[in-house]
Each structure stands twice: as C-alpha cells, then as structure tokens.
C-alpha cells in the first residue's frame, strides 16, 4: 500500500506492507535512525516521535495510521542552520543523557510535555516521563534539562 505524510517538514510517499510499523518505515525506509527501537512493546519510549503534535510511540503505530499526518522525529527538531532545538541544548547542557539510547525519545516527549504544560513542576515532569525509560541516569538531570528546555522554549 502507498502512504503519504509529512516527515520533518518534507512530503513523503512510501510503499509499505499493511503490517509495517511507523518506526520501521522511519528507520528502514527513510533512514531516520534517531528514532530508536528498544522494547518493541511500547514500554520504553525510545521510539517516541510527534504525530500531529502529540508524542506517540512509533513501535505501536502502523505506518498506514500515519496517512496524512505530520510527523516530527528527533532529526526534525534542530533548526535549518544546524543549531539545536532548545530542548536538545538543555539535555546537552544539563547532562541529561549518558549512553544516549533513550535520549531521542526523552527529548521528543519533553518537547510535547512543554508544549502542553509549559510551567510543569518537577513532579509533573517525572509523571509525564513515566512512559520513557532510562537505565543510565537517575532522572534528576533529565528533569533539570526539561525545566531548562521549557524555559528556553518560552523565551
């Protein structure tokens, strides 16, 4: 089947099998490998992308369900001049990453969180990130990064 959607601002048409997951289409057909595959069961959040402005786990969505959608991956956050999105910059500055595997999904969820609730408390941030797992950090630096990113996104 053929699907058409917008990925990181570009109109895309792909031929996919009906059972192709969105994460597979992004990684395997479009080479957007920043969207990671962690658990394949929508538990870890490593595959989080924005679909029509909402954070979704791309391993739990069929590519066909993205027909006509606006998809943003981690590769689509940086500015055209190559400068980082404020949330990416905050994760870098606050050491909100260690191995980096969960980072793209965390950043995408954090961007969505801050767009929905720009004045989120540390408790709100921890609650809203519960679906994104990190095995390396203690989450404290991630929470600080989200707070710093939120402030920068408001500015």
pLDDT at residue 136 in the model: 85
Task: Decide if pLDDT at 131 tops 90.
Answer: no
- CA nearest to 90, candidates 28, 40, 155, 31: 155
Interval 90-125: pLDDT, tens: 999 999 988 888 999 999 999 999 999 999 999 999
Report the CATH architecture of 2-76: Roll (3.10)
| Separation of alpha carbons 36 and 39, rounded Å | 10
pLDDT at residue 28 in the model: 97
Please state the rounded mean pLDDT for residues 43-49: 93
Task: Decide if pLDDT at 75 tops 90.
Answer: yes
Report the CATH architecture of 86-154: Orthogonal Bundle (1.10)
| CA atoms lying within 13 Å on the CB side of residue 82 | 0
Confirm if 53 and 115 have CB atoms less than 8 A apart: yes
pLDDT at residue 38 in the model: 87
Domain spans of the chain?
A: 2-76, 86-154
Task: Decide if pLDDT at 61 tops 80.
Answer: yes
């Amino acid at each position: 089947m053929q699907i058409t959607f917008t990925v990181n601002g570009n109109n895309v048409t792909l031929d996919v099998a009906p059972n192709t997951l969105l994460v597979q289409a992004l990684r395997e057909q479009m080479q957007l490998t920043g969207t990671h595959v962690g658990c394949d069961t929508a538990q870890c959040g490593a595959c989080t992308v924005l679909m029509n402005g909402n954070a979704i786990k791309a391993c739990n969505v069929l590519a066909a369900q993205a027909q006509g959608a606006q998809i943003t991956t981690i590769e689509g956050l940086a500015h055209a001049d190559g400068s980082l999105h404020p949330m990416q910059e905050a994760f870098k500055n606050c050491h909100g990453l260690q191995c980096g595997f969960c980072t793209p999904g965390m950043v995408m969820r954090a961007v969505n969180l801050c767009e929905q609730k720009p004045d989120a408390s540390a408790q709100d941030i921890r609650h809203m990130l519960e679906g994104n797992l990190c095995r390396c950090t203690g989450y404290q630096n991630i929470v600080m990064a989200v707070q710093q990113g939120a402030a920068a996104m408001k500015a």
